[in-house]
A and B are shown apart, each in its own frame.
Chain A
Amino acid sequence: MSQLTLDHASASVEFNKNEPRVDWHDETLWFVRTKRDRAVAQIPEWEQLREAASQIKNHVLSNMHDLLVQFEENAKQNGITVHWAADGAEHNAIIHGLIQKAGATRMVKSKSMLTEECHLNDYLTQHGIEVIDSDLGERIVQMRKEPPSHIVLPAIHLTKADVGETFHEHLGTEKGATDPQYLTEAARQHLRETFLTRKVALTGVNFAIAETGGFVVCTNEGNADMGAHLADVHIAAMGFEKIIPRAEHLGVYLRLLARSATGQPITTFSSHFHRPRPGQEMHIVIVDNGRSRQLGRPDFRNSLKCIRCAACMNTCPVYRRSGGHSYHSAVAGPIGSILAPNLDMKQNADLPFASTLCGSCSNVCPVKIDIHDQLYKWRQVLMQEGYGPTAKTVSMKAMATVLESPRLYRMAGKIGRGVLRFAPVTVENRFNPWYNQREMPEPPAESFRDWYVNHKKS
């Protein structure tokens, strides 16, 4: 799938050229955020639940090695084959090997952001394996050869008309059809045929339980179950941070996940997989891909607590008005902006700046990740490592020089106000991004300090 190469600001300029569409995107996601608010308000102990979830994850981060080893032992005893992948390439190769071993050339997949992160679909397609995504939103963007724009609602950037057009082209539905029921039925028939004929199914993992060696997959469409139950080989792929210590902790996360994601009390399907059924093979691929590096960064390790609910995206006023694709990363929005620089600082240096640091993300987060503080900290790391544009570094140095000298500051202020008052054209032009859609403030004749000296110091 093609990844957009524009940086966040430039991609946002493109996205904002169609203002009614931006409004629709914003309102749709805000609707999800308010649904979330109503759902969480019904849980008086909501904040304690968040705290519990955060503390359990702290325990996980501090005991990652032991918990993973415990999980592996128990999973093996259950008859699950456990694989370890250091990076995306290994993850892809392991899965390819398993498909080849099964003698298959086609696979059905349920939603997994990890496989997006590792670009699995691209890899398998290049190796002659056909992959069909079975989550409806994922299937829609897959047909359009686009990456998902949201981790829970992958096709949220598309309208009914867009979907109608896509289905007309790929599934032969009537041209111009936009009726959701009609379109869903077409997708259902198409996916049913897929489920019935694929020998290999891949699912993601929402929670892997060290104590039991089993894992839980949450979906609203039941597509993970449909794929896994009908296939001879079930492959589950997980980033290693999905581990939780004990089955009793599931209750905490299952209560938080769906409420934070969509405002539902719980996902429609929370499927527990503990052992292959007779005659079936079950594999789990546990992936690092930069996670141990992130675990080793004290300022950023908390990002690994993420349970992928997307509440931070829905609440983010920037995400809502720039669209998921502007983040050019598998995981978009605020959480993506603190995960992506770990994967590639150079390519993702713009993302921690795609925020006003309003802090809504950290406070909506069900596991209390300090997202906006990490955005601030990533900015410092990225600029100190030299990933800032030279012009910005030069202007920041100049600003620092002016602001550390009261005399220079007053002189610059006086000149600045003078320019604005007597030669506004030097500022009020198309090269000034402030002036593009906003008027400049009206400069007063005297600063407050001037006033204070004249009025108070007598």
Chain B
Amino acid sequence: MKVGLFIPCYIDQFYPQVAIATLKLLEKVGCDVEYPLQQTCCGQPMANSGYAHLTGGCNDNFVSNFAGYDYIVSPSGSCTLHIKHHLHATNETAATQIRSRIYELTEFLTDVVKVSTLEATFPYRVGLHQSCHGQRGLHLAQMSELVAPPFSKPVQLLNLVKDLELIQLDRRDECCGFGGTFCVTEEAVSAKMGKDRVADHLRHGVHYITGVDVSCLMHMEGILKRANSNVQVKHIAEILTATL
């Protein structure tokens, strides 16, 4: 299967190691992966700020990069959700196809590739931050609001990693407060939410905080670093490809 790799703009610029891990992971499970070189962004920063009407050029660029792939995979629940729900373009046929073919990395691995083993080892205590757009938007995991059987695609994958100890949080699916431009327009609440989210992980003695969205991790990393903490963040792709 031919997979188009969609790397969100801020991962491309600030977290290339996450993109590299994603690429390696997809290749390792047998995908034929291509990274279209003219890609930029999903358009979410404008749309969530109320400027969806300015995203036309961004959307057309996205469509011209990703039309024709069997699947489009991205290491970001939030950007994937945005494309799935809001991508419209001059070439609407291609946009519609993309909307139905885009997957967040962990759901692609569990639902399409159906990964059952991984050669990964990560001997640390890890806290999983369930990013909201992935969890509630893409339904990567059951949310605590619903009366329904529990499941979690990221946990299913983390359970395949040797020596990894996954901790349980007090608030298992509370938002971290990143929220796109919310993190600067509502700085006071955003930072407080982040501090509280990080504190839940720290209370359980984690070495690493992981998740499917680098945006949430970047926000929590900023808070951890400001507090001079040794705890680090790692995107789930980095852990799923970790070896000793």
A372 (CB) vs chain B CBs: closest residue: B136
Q: Contact: A379 with B226, CB < 8 Å?
A: no
Q: Contact: A453 with B13, CB < 8 Å?
A: no
Q: Contact: A441 with B221, CB < 8 Å?
A: yes
5 additional contacts (CB under 8 A) given A363-B145, A434-B183: A403-B45, A406-B40, A441-B15, A443-B14, A452-B35
B186 (CB) vs chain A CBs: closest residue: A9
Min CB gap A418→B, angstroms? 11
The stretch from A107-115, A248-256, A329-337, A350-358 touching chain B is: A350-358
Q: Is A101 an interface residue (CB 8 A)?
A: no
Q: Contact: A400 with B9, CB < 8 Å?
A: no
Min CB gap A300→B, angstroms? 15
Min CB gap A402→B, angstroms? 8
Q: Contact: B37 with A360, CB < 8 Å?
A: no
Question: Hey, which bits of chain A sit against chain B, CB under 8 A?
Answer: 8-9, 12-13, 15-16, 19, 22, 26, 30, 37, 40-41, 43-44, 46-47, 315, 317-318, 321-322, 352-360, 362-364, 376, 379-380, 382-384, 388, 392-393, 396-397, 399-406, 409, 413, 416-417, 433-434, 436-444, 446-453, 456
A416 to B95, alpha carbons, bound, how many Å? 30
Choose from A357, A438, A452 the contact partner of B48 (Cβ within 8 Å). Answer: A357
Min CB gap A147→B, angstroms? 20
A378 (CB) vs chain B CBs: closest residue: B50
Residues of chain B within 8 A (CB-CB) of A434 are: 183-184, 187, 222
A412 (CB) vs chain B CBs: closest residue: B13
Q: Contact: A404 with B58, CB < 8 Å?
A: yes
Residues of chain A within 8 A (CB-CB) of B69 are: none
A15 to B11, alpha carbons, bound, how many Å? 33
Min CB gap A211→B, angstroms? 30
Q: Contact: B179 with A357, CB < 8 Å?
A: yes
Q: Contact: B16 with A447, CB < 8 Å?
A: yes
A356 touching B132 in the complex, CB below 8 Å, given contacts A26-B196, A317-B174, A400-B55? yes
A442 to B16, alpha carbons, bound, how many Å? 11
Choose from B13, B58, B133 the contact partner of A416 (Cβ within 8 Å). Answer: B13
Interface size for chain B: under 10, 10 to 19, 20 to 34, or 35 or more residues?
A: 35 or more
Per-position binary interface string of chain B over residues 141-153, scored 1 when its CB falls under 8 Å from any chain A CB and 0 otherwise:
0011111100000
Q: Contact: B145 with A364, CB < 8 Å?
A: yes
A436 touching B187 in the complex, CB below 8 Å, given contacts A358-B136, A413-B12? yes
Residues of chain B within 8 A (CB-CB) of A383 are: 49-51, 53
B199 (CB) vs chain A CBs: closest residue: A23
Closest 7 CB pairs between A and B? A404-B57, A438-B222, A356-B179, A383-B50, A379-B50, A358-B132, A359-B136
Q: Is B165 an interface residue (CB 8 A)?
A: no
Residues of chain A within 8 A (CB-CB) of B225 are: 438-439
Q: Contact: B186 with A22, CB < 8 Å?
A: no
A400 touching B186 in the complex, CB below 8 Å, given contacts A356-B175, A406-B40? no
Q: Contact: B9 with A47, CB < 8 Å?
A: no
Min CB gap B184→A, angstroms? 4
Min CB gap B217→A, angstroms? 10
A388 to B48, alpha carbons, bound, how many Å? 13
A321 touching B145 in the complex, CB below 8 Å, given contacts A30-B171, A400-B54? no
Q: Contact: B16 with A451, CB < 8 Å?
A: yes
CB within 8 Å of A: which of B39-88?
39-41, 43, 45-58, 60-61
Residues of chain B within 8 A (CB-CB) of A362 are: 136
Q: Is B178 an interface residue (CB 8 A)?
A: yes
Q: Is the interface of B mostly helix, strand, loop or mixed?
A: helix
Choose from A47, A401, A444 the contact partner of B146 (Cβ within 8 Å). Answer: A47
Per-position binary interface string of chain B over residues 20-40, scored 1 when its CB falls under 8 Å from any chain A CB and 0 otherwise:
100100000000000101111
Residues of chain B within 8 A (CB-CB) of A417 are: 13-14
B179 (CB) vs chain A CBs: closest residue: A356
Q: Contact: A315 with B16, CB < 8 Å?
A: no
Q: Is B108 an interface residue (CB 8 A)?
A: no
Q: Is B140 an interface residue (CB 8 A)?
A: no
Q: Contact: A409 with B222, CB < 8 Å?
A: no
Q: Contact: B143 with A360, CB < 8 Å?
A: yes
Min CB gap B110→A, angstroms? 21
Residues of chain B within 8 A (CB-CB) of A318 are: 177, 186, 189, 193
Residues of chain A within 8 A (CB-CB) of B222 are: 434, 438-441
Choose from B12, B132, B182 the contact partner of A448 (Cβ within 8 Å). Answer: B12
Q: Contact: A404 with B40, CB < 8 Å?
A: yes
Min CB gap A250→B, angstroms? 22
Residues of chain A within 8 A (CB-CB) of B15 are: 441, 444
A442 (CB) vs chain B CBs: closest residue: B14
A405 to B64, alpha carbons, bound, how many Å? 12
Q: Contact: B145 with A353, CB < 8 Å?
A: no
Q: Is B120 an interface residue (CB 8 A)?
A: no
A396 touching B51 in the complex, CB below 8 Å, given contacts A358-B132, A441-B222? yes
A243 to B149, alpha carbons, bound, how many Å? 34
19 CB contacts below 8 A, A to B, read A44-B147, A318-B189, A356-B132, A356-B190, A359-B136, A363-B136, A402-B40, A403-B43, A403-B58, A405-B57, A433-B183, A433-B185, A436-B191, A437-B191, A441-B222, A442-B14, A443-B13, A448-B7, A448-B20
